[in-house]
């Protein structure tokens, strides 16, 4: 992994995927039944956490609260989507941070699936065979469904988020709550990956709900670098008694 050479970064950065959502549950049921559409009556932005997702978010908050005071997040940023906000609210409550202090940033929103939203894999193949063929040819990194985004589009908006971190949050301890593709695209940027590396990483391990990916810099070390400390760390949730859930990254439905 290449190491970022600049020191104008937060002291720590945690990137977390939201807890299990009602959309995750509905999509699992649709995939299991081999149906073409995901049965959910909310738009993606309004899809809330499931009951399990709320427990996972609470366990995540308890894990952060157990850290020494000078190691806890002091800046909270989140996707505007309901499931992400509910997750970060649980952390803020556990840390005694006023919810009004949470930064809500539309650049952290889920990847937009456009015309393919709410369709299962089987549904895409049956309803949009030409798009399924195009995605297979182009690859998931560059494929942009009509009305939606590619991974590159997401990466483009996240580049400006990193500039804000380096401008406004040097020395802070920042928690970002987003979505599976958001976690992976941040990793692409922060670990200086290329297309092959990030897609290999994506294939090797899905991002569990409420798992922690952490970057940090040790400013007392000569030639200090801002670098990865842990990726997709889900053990604290298991210790707290909340099961870890993993959803495969497919360009369908809410996540």
170-196: average pLDDT: 97
Reduced 3-state DSSP string for the chain: CCCECCCCCCCEEEEEECCCEHHHHHHHHHHHHCCCECCCCCCHHHCCECHHHHHHHHHHHHHHHCCCHHHCCCEEEECCCHHHHHHHHHHHHHHCCCHHHCEECHHHCCCCCHHHCCECHHHHHHHCHHHHHHHHHHCCCCCCCCCCCCHHHHHHHHHHHHHHHHHHCCCCEEEEEECHHHHHHHHHHHCCCCHHHHHHHHHHCCCECCCEEEEECCCCCCCCCEEEEEEEECHHHHHCCCCCCECCCCCCCCC
Model confidence at 167, in pLDDT bands (50, 70, 90)? very high
The overall average pLDDT reported for the chain is 90
**CATH architecture label of 12-20+50-112+149-231:** 3-Layer(aba) Sandwich (3.40)
Residue 18 appears among annotated catalytic residues: yes
User: Is a pLDDT exceeding 80 seen at residue 6?
Assistant: no
pTM: 0.90
- Average pLDDT score over residue span 201-228: 91
**Binding site membership: which residues?**
17-24, 83
What band does 241 get if pLDDT is binned at 50, 70 and 90? low
Annotated binding site for substrate: 17-24, 83
Q: If pLDDT is split at 50, 70 and 90, which confidence band does 2 have?
A: low
* Domain boundaries of the chain, sorted by first residue: 12-20+50-112+149-231
Catalytic, out of 31, 36, 62, 110: 110
Based on the residue annotation, tell me whether 110 is a catalytic residue of this protein: yes
Tell whether the model's pLDDT for residue 245 goes beyond 90. Answer: no
């Amino acid at each position: 992994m290449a190491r970022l050479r600049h020191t104008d970064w937060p002291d720590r950065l945690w990137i977390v995927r939201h807890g299990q959502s009602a959309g995750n549950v509905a999509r699992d049921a649709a995939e299991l039944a081999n149906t073409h559409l995901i049965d959910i009556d909310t738009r993606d932005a309004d899809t809330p956490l499931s009951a399990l997702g709320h427990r996972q978010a609470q366990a995540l908050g308890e894990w952060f609260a157990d850290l020494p005071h000078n190691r806890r997040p002091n800046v909270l940023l989140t996707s505007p989507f309901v499931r992400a906000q509910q997750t970060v609210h649980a952390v803020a409550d556990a840390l005694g941070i006023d919810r009004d202090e949470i930064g809500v940033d539309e650049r952290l929103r889920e990847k937009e699936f456009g015309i393919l939203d709410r369709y299962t894999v089987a549904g895409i193949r049956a309803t949009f065979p030409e798009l399924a063929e195009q995605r297979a040819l182009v690859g998931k990194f560059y494929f942009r469904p009509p009305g939606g985004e590619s991974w590159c589009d997401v990466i483009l908006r996240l580049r400006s988020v990193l500039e804000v971190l380096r401008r406004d949050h040097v020395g802070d301890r920042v928690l970002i709550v987003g979505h599976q593709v958001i976690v992976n695209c941040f990793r692409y940027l922060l670990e200086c990956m290329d297309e092959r590396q990030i897609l290999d990483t994506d294939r090797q391990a899905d991002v569990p709900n409420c798992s922690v990916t952490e970057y940090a810099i040790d400013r007392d070390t000569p030639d200090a670098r801002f670098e990865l400390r842990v990726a997709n760390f889900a053990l604290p949730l298991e210790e707290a008694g909340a099961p870890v859930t993993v959803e495969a990254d497919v360009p369908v439905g809410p996540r």
